[in-house]
Structure 1
Amino acid sequence: MVSALGFLASRVSLTPVFTVPEHFSSPLLQLAAKDSSIELVSCPSGTGQIMSALKAGEIDLSIALTEALIAGIVKKTADYKIVGTYVTSPLNWAVSVGKESKYQTIADLKGEKIGISRIGSGSQVMASYMALTQGWVDAAGKNLRDGVNDGRAAAFMWEHFTTKPFLSELRFIGHVPTPWASWMIVASPSLVSSRAEQLKKFLADLSESIHAFDDAEARKSSSKEFIKGHFGYPEEDVQAWLDQVSYPKVGVEVVEKSTIEQTLKTLEAAGVLEAPAGGWKIDDFVETSVATLA
């Protein structure tokens, strides 16, 4: 099963392992290959699908885009809290249009429909953020690559390297990087209350896998070869991605307060969220019995 942006969910139980073809997932895939207690579940529709699965109790743990997860907590889309940080660098969202589209720049999209993967997805949140950066606002859509070619949507947004293999059908007209660390880890209350030690062990093991993948020598050799072999990306794309991605240098259980504050401030300005009367309480977003708020 192929995921649009590599959104991942995990059951952290004694079940078989499923891999997900997405470059950001590499350290997690490497860990899951060694640990049969981890099952990785592909969520092709992105964060919206993850919210539904969390709400239904179908999954315990998820790694997904920071902006969508934080918006989901505020909107009570599903019951979960942040337990860690997975990727510390921004996500570079490519703005794509149809091959024969009349649109040449992001500015040309003012007042037009933007395709999104699902309500509550990162693509919807980032469409609002793009509107903020441009000084205008809007979003809607489905079946993204077809949508921009048959006229149902003017453009859509996906991560740059995930979209690049489809450039025979599409054309980039710009990029909108997130101004925050791009991937967070969240867990359901039931996982925290019933299997806290197992969750902590998973986070420690994931930290170890990330550090091995992120090692300077590994980036030049084994990590680069892993991505090429598993995802089929050409070496120049793998190297370009490795040059811009960063993972936590400490344990993944460390969550930067500034990341949550920056995301909330930006999403509020973009009209995605509305601050409560007493202001945001950062502790409400993080499971501090598991994660460290720094």
Structure 2
Amino acid sequence: MKTINIGGVPEHFNLAWYLTLKNGEYKDEGINLRWKDYFGGSGEMSKALREGEIDMAVILTEGIIKDIIDGNPSAIIQTFVASPLIWGIHVAKDSNYHSVEDLKGTKAAISRYGSGSHLMAYINAQNNNWNLEKDLDFEVIKDLDGAVEGLTKEVADYFLWEKFTTKPLVDEGVFRRIGNCPSPWPCFVIAVRKEFLENNKEDVKTILNIINETTTDFKDIPRIDATIANRYEQKLEDVQEWLELTEWSQEVIDKKTIENVQDQLLALDIIPEKWDYNKLVTKL
């Protein structure tokens, strides 16, 4: 049985992977798919792909595009979630900041440089017509636990993270959410190390076939809202809202989307140049 390592964030977006693993669907095809949670998000996963710690990743679109251009020898093979990610803009409960405009010139907590929380801080700044050189500052906090500590101890002032993942912390009064910043593109893609893909293309196709079959009918799974609420400690009404907003994909990411992401990253000086579609995307 062939062992294949895959990584993703431990969030409700990836429940379909957990369900197919629990059902033994990959083992039925001779694949020992091993899932690893990455609490540090896309920056941590990009590093894991580079180092061969994982073969595949379910990763933020903007994060992996930036890292491939920066030298990560991986390729995008499919869109996983077609809808945008809704990033909540959070401050500590006792913070003196009450609007997004109040955050101009303050310090953003980010999981790491090149991560989604880092890149989306730029998008948020651009949306609010801030000076990208003068009005942005960063503090690396690694993960969500680090953000709680960083904002509480006033090491950083605000933090962007997926709205529904942080909702329990808002409900508990750890964070206040003072705004939202949706990503202007499909949020998650599946990426694979090129060297691994060259030697294991059929196995990767099999994995995609299994996960795509599950995501196609994901919303129709009986009591899926209650399952998500229990597993991720979410309120049922929050999960139901999230399910209405979220659409999975079984398609290869298109050229227009790749162009849009690169245009925005280039305008923000996050990437040095744009790459051809076929250097970023591999069609199976």
TM-score, normalisation: structure 1: 0.85
Q: Does 1:115 align with 2:109?
A: yes
Q: 1:54 maps to what in 2? A: 49
C-alpha RMSD of matched pairs (Å): 2.1
Q: Alignment partner for residue 206 of structure 1, among 194, 208, 211?
A: 211
Q: Structure 1 counterpart of 2:152, which letter?
A: N
1:94–1:160 contact (8 Å) kept in structure 2: yes
Task: State the identity %.
Answer: 31
TM-score, normalisation: structure 2: 0.88
SS of residue paired to 1:238 = helix
Q: CA deviation at 1:23?
A: 0.6
SS of residue paired to 1:191 = helix
Q: C-alpha separation between the residues in 1 aligned to 2:157 and 2:80? A: 32
SS of residue paired to 1:264 = helix
- Structure 1 pair 171–239 and aligned structure 2 pair: CA distance change class (3 A): same
Q: C-alpha separation between the residues in 1 aligned to 2:21 and 2:127? A: 38
Q: Alignment partner for residue 266 of structure 2, among 265, 268, 288?
A: 268
Q: CA deviation at 1:70?
A: 0.8
Q: C-alpha separation between the residues in 2 aligned to 1:17 and 1:193? A: 16
2:88–2:160 contact (8 Å) kept in structure 1: yes
Q: Structure 2 counterpart of 1:237, which letter?
A: D
Q: 1:256 maps to what in 2? A: 254
Q: Does 1:178 align with 2:183?
A: yes
Q: CA deviation at 1:270?
A: 2.1
Q: Does 1:104 align with 2:109?
A: no
Q: Alignment partner for residue 147 of structure 2, among 144, 162, 169?
A: 144
- Structure 1 pair 197–106 and aligned structure 2 pair: CA distance change class (3 A): same
Q: C-alpha separation between the residues in 1 aligned to 2:232 and 2:3? A: 26
Q: Any idea what the Cα deviations from partners look like across 1:93-123, whole Å, max 9, x if unmatched?
A: 0000011111111111111110001122100
- Structure 1 pair 57–47 and aligned structure 2 pair: CA distance change class (3 A): same
Q: Does 1:165 align with 2:168?
A: yes
Q: Structure 1 counterpart of 2:114, which letter?
A: G
Q: CA deviation at 1:13?
A: 4.1
- Structure 1 pair 284–229 and aligned structure 2 pair: CA distance change class (3 A): same
2:79–2:253 contact (8 Å) kept in structure 1: yes
SS of residue paired to 2:96 = coil
SS of residue paired to 1:225 = helix
Q: CA deviation at 1:18?
A: 9.9
Q: Any idea what the Cα deviations from partners look like across 1:41-93, whole Å, max 9, x if unmatched?
A: 011211121122111111100001111111111112x2101011100000000
SS of residue paired to 2:33 = coil
Q: CA deviation at 1:34?
A: 2.0
Q: CA deviation at 1:226?
A: 2.3
Q: Which one has the bigger strand percentage?
A: 2
The count of corresponding residues between Structure 1 and Structure 2 is 267
- Structure 1 pair 259–124 and aligned structure 2 pair: CA distance change class (3 A): same
Q: Structure 1 counterpart of 2:151, which letter?
A: V
Q: CA deviation at 1:126?
A: 0.5
